[in-house]
Amino acid sequence: MKCIAFSALLLMVQIPAIPQSRSHARSMVIATSGIVATSQPLASQAGAQVLARGGNAVDAAIAANAVLGVTEPMMNGIGGDLFAIYWEAKTGKLTAINASGTAPAKLTLDFLKQKGNSRMPDAGIHSVTVPGAVDGWDKMHRKFGKLPWSELFQAAIHYSTDGFPVTETIHGHWQDSRMQQSIRADANARRVYLPGDAAPPVGEVFKNPELARAFQLIAKDGPRTVYEGEIARAIVATSQRLGGTMQLSDLAKFSSEWVTPISTTYRDWTVYEMPPNGQGIAALQMLNVLEKFRVDDHELLSAETFHTRIEAMKLAYADLGFVADQRFGKVPVEGMLSKTYAKQRAALLDPERARCNVDAGDPPATSNTVYLAVIDKEGNIASWIQSIASVWGSGVVVDGMGFALQNRGSYFDFDANHPNRLEPGKRPRHSIIPAFMEKGDLHMGFGIMGGSNQPMAHAQFVSNFVDYGMNIQAALEAPRFTKVYTGGCDVMVEGRVPAAVREGLTQKGHDLTVLGDYATGMGRGQVVLRDAKAGVNYAASSPRGDGSAIPEPAPSILPAKSKDRRQ
């Protein structure tokens, strides 16, 4: 067994003897000031500028999130949901908010059956649930924010009005013909987002004046415009035009919810995720299973390590059928996180052979997304994730407002007996999950995007960092696996996984698909870390996307006035 005995600080910042001989592409961003890490540099910059104006991590997260709604409109925006975890440095307290929207009162299984549906619609107006994000921004700002609300949307309004150059990864999603299907079905969406009937190419400046107007209304009239004001009326009018069920009362009565994060220990770290209706519990269950194995007995890039992680993932994901809105039924959270239960599940893991089908356990009774992370100079951390579910969400763009509505309703089950069945006023099982972990003076906010990929990506990142002594950038970049569906022995790996490792996995029964070296399907991600003892902040951004971590600018120092030579 390899012995890893770094001090906490060396664990993060150890520099190789030969700086060029490292496995990761980027360096960490390190500063005593705040840092904003997002999947798009303009959004990171907007957040960093808010920090420089005296804002804190929540202010910067809202500003950066708003810009991401402009620059990555197929992933997130006003029409989507939000989950966030916030660590307050001065109190050491974690706070979390669930701003996931509910099903409209008239969206029922009977209604959908009458419309000829035999499953939940994947797109279109009947996949739309109440957009919760802006209410989540508002509650977080009221509780923790420092700057005036109206000042947080200046950058989003600017980039909507004057435009922004389309970046590479975002263009890739925009121009993908499969991903365009939903917006091509809606004339309004096609007009706004496919000018000239095509996706804007890389580098083209894209403008969205209708979205600028929506942000101007949010800044001027406040967040309730989305739920009771002009934007709410536009959402309902759009729904009625398309035969949808959304009413003003569905929007007006919505309120996001303060929740307590769930957690487990992994080795000597405590890892936190959002409670159900989110899928973060699967990441904790996967870590609980992995903890029963000394994964660092083998190199990270070995068939044994990948196999153990893949099989632990299957055992954890098999239990996701229990996850639903806890206001409508009990979810056995405590039992699912029990270390005893994890030991029982780990005993099912065959070190030599892949299991193609894994049944759910019996715990004791006790999409497409953007993730961003912000840390300010005081050490407050916002672990923040927002999404409209699938790429382009429902494909429905709100009349006159320029943003897409989410299709989160597609995450409900059509089975009337399932815990996650569609019911009016209910939240669907959710894929987006912010995370947090800590040990002693070290506190970290992290997240990795990509629908069902997220829990398995979280667990791989945590293991990379804890078991293999990687710094946060290396742990985020390291080659990963993913699966779209939990059944079967198919699994996708990145091209950086060596051929010998891939051969070893094939011999164990895994059916491999090899993706690119830095495949976006593995999930773009961001990380921020605070060393409270040293007063130093660290950040990382995944090279699988267009993003970057940008530190807060230093205070401007004006030059002294020069003397008038004529005097």
Catalytic positions, please?
Answer: 369
Q: If we measure between CA atoms, which residue out of 541, 498, 562 comes closest to residue 26?
A: 541
How crowded is residue 3: how many other Cβ atoms within 10 Å of its Cβ?
A: 5
Measured distance CA(282)–CA(323) in Å, rounded = 10
Helix %, strand %, coil % for the chain, to 5?
35, 20, 45
Q: Which residues of 351-385 are buried (b: 16+ CB within 10 A; e: fewer)?
A: eeebbeebeebebeeebbbbbbbbbbbebbbbbbb
90 Cβ partners below 8 Å, 6+ apart? 378
How crowded is residue 558: how many other Cβ atoms within 10 Å of its Cβ?
A: 5
Residues paired with residue 539 on neighbouring β-strands, in sequence order: 29, 528
Question: Residue 375: CA atoms inside 13 Å, Cβ hemisphere, count?
Answer: 31
**Which residue stretches of 333-434 are H helix?**
333-336, 339-346
Question: Residue 231: CA atoms inside 13 Å, Cβ hemisphere, count?
Answer: 31
Measured distance CA(85)–CA(458) in Å, rounded = 15
Concatenated DSSP letters for 429-460?
PB----EEEEETTEEEEEEE-STTHHHHHHHH
Cβ 149 vs Cβ 219: under 8 Å: yes
> How wide is the angle at C-alpha 426 spanned by C-alphas 229 and 402, nearest 5°?
35
Residues paired with residue 435 on neighbouring β-strands, in sequence order: 273, 446
Cβ 540 vs Cβ 550: under 8 Å: no
Q: Which residue has the tokens 């267009």?
A: 546
DSSP H helix total and E strand total for the chain: 19, 19
| Per-residue DSSP letter, 280 | H
Distance linking the first and last C-alpha atoms of the chain = 78
Cβ 124 vs Cβ 74: under 8 Å: no
Cβ 250 vs Cβ 129: under 8 Å: no
Q: If we measure between CA atoms, which residue out of 164, 152, 140 comes closest to residue 49?
A: 152
> How wide is the angle at C-alpha 433 spanned by C-alphas 319 and 234, nearest 5°?
115
Residues 22, 26, 31, 35: is their CA dihedral positive or negative? negative
Is the backbone of residue 222 left (phi > 0), alpha (psi -120 to 50) or beta?
Answer: left
Q: Which residues of 121-136 are buried (b: 16+ CB within 10 A; e: fewer)?
A: bebbbbbbbbbbbbbb
How crowded is residue 228: how many other Cβ atoms within 10 Å of its Cβ?
A: 16
Q: Which residue has the tokens 């096609």?
A: 190
